[in-house]
Structure 1
Amino acid sequence: MRVAILDDEPAELRRVEQTLQQMPEPGEPAWSLHSFERGEDLLRQLRRETYDLLILDWQLPDISGLALLRWTREHMESPPATIMLTSRDGEADIVQALNAGADDYVSKPFRPNELKARVAAVLRRHSQQRSAATEVLNFNDLVFDDAELTVTRDGVPIGMTEREYRLARCLFTNLGRPLSREYLYSRFWSHEEMVSSRPLDTHIYRLRNKLGLTVERGWQLLTIYGYGYRLESVASATE
């Protein structure tokens, strides 16, 4: 779970971090927490990184949390779940943030157990909404079926493991976006499996072959040196 936290008060950032560090159940991998004191810094990362949850303060010296929330809803195909965490607690403020797309609104000073409960509820609801909305996805001649965890091309099933399916689905639902190795590992591998870079490289190699991710078929799976991978849709050579 990758979480971006935005607040211009370092002490508040540390408090939110300490609270979220308690979220994983025993045996589950620790969450990857990324803290920002400036809205511009978070916006720069949102253009190239992927997060599962944003926790945003409203009032900042540069870009407000509300402006960042609106940007994610306007420019991201699958925006992350977002909670506003702010000292602005007026009814008009809450309504404005919820209408802009916030999944929840927590007033400062927050109570740690309440924040944990709200985060869990938002993530659970966000996951259910995505599952209901994207049970079957079509990408050119490829069809992803979430219910069966299968990919077919022209009606013919492509043999894939569950992890290969989920990794491929992640790449296709983030077309054109660079995905870091850190993000992919945190989503699809346990901490014990993250011994080297080879498991991810091996899976990427298999997906290229199994799904035919070639220019001839309209796809290009790029390796971003020192960072990760990006899947792009391109004009096929046969067009």
Structure 2
Amino acid sequence: MRVAILDDEPAELRRVEQTLEQMAEAGEQPWSLHSFERGEDLLRQLRRETFDLLILDWQLPDLTGLALLRWTREHMDAPPAAIMLTSRDGESDIVQALNAGADDYVSKPFRPNELKARVAAVLRRHSQPRSAAGEVQTFHDLTFDDAELTVTREGKPILMTEREYRLARCLFSNLGRPLSRDYLYERFWPNEETTSSRPLDTHIYRLRNKLGLTADRGWQLLTIYGYGYRLESVGTGNE
């Protein structure tokens, strides 16, 4: 889980970080928190990196949180979830932010438990449908079983490691969404120091071959130069 926090007050940034760190400790998946005091700095990162959630202050000296929110909705194919966290709490402000694409609106000074609850609710709404234990999902001729961590094509199993399975599942759960290298490394190699892109590139190469991620089978796994990868469905729909 990669979260970007935007606030020009360092003390407020730290309060939000501490609140989200509590959520990260309680969750199964590692969280990566990235704090910004300038809207322009976050905008540059959004052009280069993948985030699951934005928490945005409204009033900043350069690029406001509202302007940045609008940019994500206008220029990103799959914009991350966004929560406005601001002292502007008038009804017209809330309506303006929600109309601009905010998923929720929290007024300052915030209560930590309320913020955690709202973050959890927004992430639930934005998360891709996940299979319950024992449930399977099919994409074209590939069937994923999250309980057994197996993939089959027309009933025939495809030999994969657990990491390969989870990486493939992430790509299929984010069809059409560009995923940055940093995002994938933080999610699948969280405790390993990587000095090159070779581990990820090697896994992508294996997935292309093992799963047949080619146009004739309805898939296109694109390398986005300087950014990462994007899996697209071509031809006959997603599932």
For Structure 1 versus Structure 2, the TM-score category normalised by the shorter chain is 0.7 to 0.9
Aligned mates of 1:51, 1:68 — CA distance in 2 = 14
In structure 2, distance between residues paired with 1:200 and 1:147: 23
Within the candidate set 154, 161, 166, 1:163 is matched to 166
SS for the counterpart of 2:8 is coil
Q: Give aligned pairs, total.
A: 218
User: Alpha carbons of 1:114 and 1:232: their partners in 2 closer, same or farther (altered >3 Å)?
Assistant: closer
- 2:69 aligns with 69
> Displacement, 1:114?
1.4
Provide the rounded CA distance (Å) in 2 between the counterparts of 1:91 and 1:8.
Answer: 23
1:61, distance to aligned residue in structure 2 (A):
1.3
- Aligned positions of 1:1-239 closer than 5 A: 1-26=1-26, 28-127=28-127, 130-131=128-129, 159=158, 161=160, 162-169=165-172, 172-174=175-177, 177=178, 179-180=180-181, 182-189=182-189, 191=191, 194=192, 196=194, 199-212=199-212, 219=220, 221-222=222-223, 224=225, 229-231=228-230
Q: Distance in 2 between matches of 1:150 and 1:74?
A: 36
Contact 1:48 1:178 in 2 (8 A): no
Across the aligned residues of Structure 1 and Structure 2, the Cα RMSD in angstroms comes to: 3.5
- 1:118 to 1:36, Cα distance in 2 relative to 1, 3 A: same
- Aligned-partner Cα distance in 2 for 1:87–1:3: 21
Q: Counterpart amino acid of 1:229?
A: G
**Amino acid paired to 1:179:** S
3-state SS of paired residue (1:131):
coil
Q: Distance in 2 between matches of 1:9 and 1:216?
A: 52
Whole-Å separation in 2 of the counterparts to 1:123 and 1:232: 22
Distance 1:146 1:115, change over 3 A: farther
Distance 2:11 2:142 in 1: 44
Shift of 1:85: 0.2
Q: Is the 8 A contact 1:213 1:221 kept in 2?
A: no
Q: What is the CA-CA distance between 1:71 and the residue it aligns to?
A: 1.5
User: Contact 1:29–1:190 at 8 Å: present in 2 too?
Assistant: no
Structure 2: how far apart are the matches of 1:91 and 1:7?
21
The separation in 2 between residues aligned to 1:124 and 1:27, in whole angstroms, is 13
CA distance in 2, matches of 1:213, 1:94: 44
SS in 2 for 1:73: helix
Partners in 2 of 1:79 and 1:160 — Cα distance? 34
Once the two structures are overlaid, the 10-residue window that deviates more, 22-31 or 214-223, is 214-223
2:30 touches 2:187 (CA, 8 Å); kept in 1?
no
Length-normalised TM-score, structure 1: 0.73
